[in-house]
Amino acid sequence: MNPIYWVLGAPLAGAAVVRLAGAKLGKRASAWIACLALAAALAVASALVAGLAASAPDARHVVVPGFTFLELGLFRAGFDLLVDPLSVLMACLVTGVGLLIHVFSVAYMAEESEAEYARYFAYLNFFVFSMLVLVLAANFLVLFAGWELVGLSSYLLIGFYRSKTSAADAGKKAFIVNRVGDFGFLMAVFLLMSSYGSLDFDVILPHAASLGAGSALAATVALLLFLGAAGKSAQGPLFVWLPDAMEGPTPVSALIHAATMVTAGVFLVARCHALFELSSLAMKAVAWTGALTALFAAGVAARQNDIKKVLAFSTISQLGYMVLAVGVGAYTAGVFHLFTHAFFKALLFLGCGSIMHALHGELDMNRMGGLRKKLPVTHWTFLVGAACLAGVPLTGGFFSKDEILGRVLAGPHGDPLLWAVGYATAAVTAYYSGRLVFRVFYGSTRLDRDAFDGAHEGGWAFQGPLLVLALGALAAGSLGLPEFLGTARPLEAWLAPVFTDSTWGGPGPSEPLSLGLMGLYTLTVAAFVWLAWSLFGKKDASVSNARTGFFARNGYVDELYDLLFVRGLLALCGWLYRVVDRELIDGAVEAVGWTAQGAGAFLRQNVHNGKVRAYAAYVVAGSCLLAVLVLILGGLTCFR
């Protein structure tokens, strides 16, 4: 059996076993089964990486044909899986980060009942399975299956706390907004299906050009695919579900809404880059959407008081960077940032989880402060994560962000205006990262005495993953050091076979420009972090509780949607009920009855009058009619 099925099968089996039997087996068993399943998947995925590395670069594309789902003449759709550098890299990332989060969850969710504990781990395993299906797909069918499954998993996990109405609503919102994106995705798939007669990547992507470079069809397909990507990655107007998704347990936010599921959109564009490159209009749309979303979300993040919401908007903003990268053809840079972001964002979220655990669920940063000495491990790892986020030099985040911005400015399809938006975003990012760290860990505390004294670190299950992720975040930068340094760039080399056919790639900025940019970033970060320090980090720093203003209210987007869609739809439904249903349809039905009654009454009074002679007349008339009919059918031969 091909090893790839172990990668998928382990988490699926784990999910099934834990869901069905976990409550009876107890929490320890559930936790062990789930974590072991992921460990197994990770091991096999790593082996696949090794296997690919051992083969020649142009042979690193293996399709594993699977169960044939549908076969109609020449069209065949099957559950085929693809083993190539991009897919196994993503698989390792998902299983690796997933494993760390599972370990963290063992302690974080420990206060739940057996049944709830089991349900949580089952869903978490199921999510990992779904994400693996998505990234390992060899055709649009499997990819879409994975796409929908992660949507389902996300819904289940966001709404995990079933007793909270807000959680249930958030789950629904996520699913529905995703649906809008899925609509675009499906339309694109249908178009591809009609153009190519197949859904396999190996049939479509190498022959992307047959859609016609620059044609309306190519642009439509690309834009529709991007609509799907935007839904999953919370870009553009479809971002609204992500902040609400914070209702779910914090490790869920770490896994799904930071490291993996939301990156599916970026992954999609990278995978289908051949289709996107046919339309510069689509690419521009992608890039600008990413850039503007990044800036906007950063602004909103700077005005949030809930630590998880800050991170949620930060995620949207960083995803914007990734989308921007793939929008200018810098696919490797986008994936690089995806990689580093997975580490530091998961780290930050788990850090939040640790803080929440210490403070018994407190989320408002205005009520924290001075926790630096109380939660040392959390503090230092959080600091690492924030530094990566802000782009402090030499952290992983710094190199990946620098890579993106460099290509946006000076790459073959670069645009200085886009770069300016990205640069502004970086500045704001530095500011809110600093604000977050300083408000929570520095300055004098705003907690009451008991809460402050009682705050303490969690056990090794909390601290272990935090430390591992911190190391990873720092080390990840080494995968893509700038070109001019002349050192090896392992990530680029690894992903090269996937993107060789790209016509949008090209060399990055020259050495002097690169150095200059790095200097600029360093200064900017320092300046804005200092600004945040002076506002928030000192003792007795002022507390701002204002929830007013454009950014504080999330750009009023939710209100806009409510106005446009919700109210309009409700009004339409009301109208349909009152007018169409009650008056038109019920009226029509009643009219039928009324007509029948009227006709019956008429017949009863006028025709069935009980008079024999009238009946006789009817009989005579009827018989004549029949006779005439017979004559006519006989051919009217009487008139010959």
Partner 1 sequence: MFQVEQVLVLALALFATGVFGVLVRRDPVVLFISIEMMFNAVNLALVGLARHEGLVLGHALVLFVVAVAAAEVAVGLGIIIALFRARTDMDVDRIDELKG
Partner 2 sequence: MNDALFAVFGLGALACAVPAVLARRTLHAALWFVALILCLAAIYGLWGAPLLGALQVMVYAGAVMVLFLFAVMVLDVRGQEREAPVWSVPGAAIAAVLAALVFAVGWAVVRMGPAALAPAAVSGAPDVGDDNVARVARVVFRDYALVFEAVGVLLLTAVVAVMVLAKRDLES
Q: Give contact residues for partner 1 (rule: CB under 8 A).
A: 604-605, 608-613, 616-617, 620
Question: Any contact of residue 607 with partner 2 (CB under 8 A)?
Answer: no
Figure out which of the listed residues 115, 527, 564, 624 binds partner 2, where binding follows CB under 8 A. Answer: 624
Q: Which does 610 bind (CB under 5 to 8 A by kind): partner 1, partner 2, none?
A: partner 1
Q: Which does 486 bind (CB under 5 to 8 A by kind): partner 1, partner 2, none?
A: none
d(CA 388, CA 354): 19
Q: List, in sequence order, every residue forming a beta bridge with 81; answer none if it has no partner.
A: 64, 137
Q: Which tokens is 159 given?
A: 């709404």
Q: Which does 634 bind (CB under 5 to 8 A by kind): partner 1, partner 2, none?
A: partner 2
Rounded to the nearest 5 degrees, what angle is found at the Cα of 391, between the Cα atoms of 389 and 486? 130
Q: Which does 628 bind (CB under 5 to 8 A by kind): partner 2, partner 1, none?
A: partner 2
Cβ closest to partner 1, residue 190 vs residue 602: 602
Helices (H), 552-611: 557-561, 568-575, 586-602
- Write the CA distances from 498 to 13, 84, 263, 366, integer angstroms: 31, 8, 18, 47
Yes or no: say if 355 and 371 are a contact pair by the CB < 8 Å rule. yes
Q: How far is the CB of 626 from partner 1 (least distance, A)?
A: 15
Q: List, in sequence order, every residue forming a beta bridge with 68; answer none if it has no partner.
A: 78
Count of residues of this chain found to bind partner 2 when the rule CB under 8 A is applied? 12
Cβ closest to partner 2, residue 50 vs residue 636: 636
- Write the CA distances from 303 to 237, 384, 466, 546, integer angstroms: 19, 22, 26, 9
Q: How far is the CB of 616 from partner 1 (least distance, A)?
A: 5
Q: How far is the CB of 637 from partner 1 (least distance, A)?
A: 15
Q: Which tokens is 9 given?
A: 């099968």
Q: How many residues are listed for the chain in this entry?
A: 640
Q: Which does 604 bind (CB under 5 to 8 A by kind): partner 1, partner 2, none?
A: partner 1
Q: Which tokens is 68 given?
A: 């044939």
Q: What is the DSSP string of 319-368?
A: HHHHHHHHHTT-HHHHHHHHHHHHHHHHHHHHHHHHHHHHTTS--BGGG-
Question: CA end-to-end span of the chain, whole Å?
Answer: 88
* Nearest Cα residue to 296 out of 316, 277, 280, 281: 316
Q: How far is the CB of 608 from partner 1 (least distance, A)?
A: 6
Strand, helix or coil at 83? Answer: strand
Cβ closest to partner 2, residue 361 vs residue 634: 634
Q: How far is the CB of 635 from partner 2 (least distance, A)?
A: 9
Residue with tokens 């007018």: 579
Q: Which does 609 bind (CB under 5 to 8 A by kind): partner 1, partner 2, none?
A: partner 1
Question: Any contact of residue 56 with partner 2 (CB under 8 A)?
Answer: no
Residue with tokens 């990547």: 201
Q: Which does 608 bind (CB under 5 to 8 A by kind): partner 1, partner 2, none?
A: partner 1
Evaluated on CA atoms 17, 20, 22, 25, the torsion sign reads negative
Yes or no: say if 235 and 264 are a contact pair by the CB < 8 Å rule. no
DSSP state of 610: -
Cβ closest to partner 2, residue 580 vs residue 629: 629
Q: Which does 621 bind (CB under 5 to 8 A by kind): partner 2, partner 1, none?
A: partner 2
Question: Any contact of residue 621 with partner 2 (CB under 8 A)?
Answer: yes
Residue 154 gets the label, from left (phi > 0), alpha (psi -120 to 50) or beta, of alpha
Q: How far is the CB of 640 from partner 2 (least distance, A)?
A: 8
Residues 6+ apart with CB under 8 A from 225: 184, 185, 188, 268, 269, 272, 275, 276
Q: Which does 361 bind (CB under 5 to 8 A by kind): partner 1, partner 2, none?
A: none
Cβ closest to partner 1, residue 560 vs residue 616: 616
Q: Which does 637 bind (CB under 5 to 8 A by kind): partner 2, partner 1, none?
A: partner 2
Binding mask 563-602 for partner 2 (x = CB under 8 A): ----------------------------------------
Question: Any contact of residue 610 with partner 2 (CB under 8 A)?
Answer: no
Cβ closest to partner 2, residue 1 vs residue 612: 612
Cβ closest to partner 2, residue 417 vs residue 631: 631
- Write the CA distances from 114 to 26, 27, 249, 426, integer angstroms: 6, 6, 16, 44
Dihedrals phi, psi of 76, to nearest 5 degrees: -135, 130
Q: Which does 631 bind (CB under 5 to 8 A by kind): partner 2, partner 1, none?
A: partner 2
Figure out which of the listed residues 564, 579, 603, 617 binds partner 2, where binding follows CB under 8 A. Answer: 617
Binding segment toward partner 2, per CB under 8 A, in 348-356, 411-419, 450-458, 624-632: 624-632
Question: Any contact of residue 620 with partner 2 (CB under 8 A)?
Answer: yes
Figure out which of the listed residues 315, 510, 631, 633 binds partner 2, where binding follows CB under 8 A. Answer: 631
Q: List, in sequence order, every residue forming a beta bridge with 62; answer none if it has no partner.
A: 83
Q: How far is the CB of 634 from partner 2 (least distance, A)?
A: 7
Q: What share of the chain is helix, strand, coil (3-state, %, to 5)?
A: 75, 5, 20
Question: Any contact of residue 627 with partner 2 (CB under 8 A)?
Answer: yes
Cβ closest to partner 2, residue 548 vs residue 637: 637
Contact positions vs partner 2 (CB under 8 A): 617, 620-621, 623-624, 627-628, 631, 634, 637-639
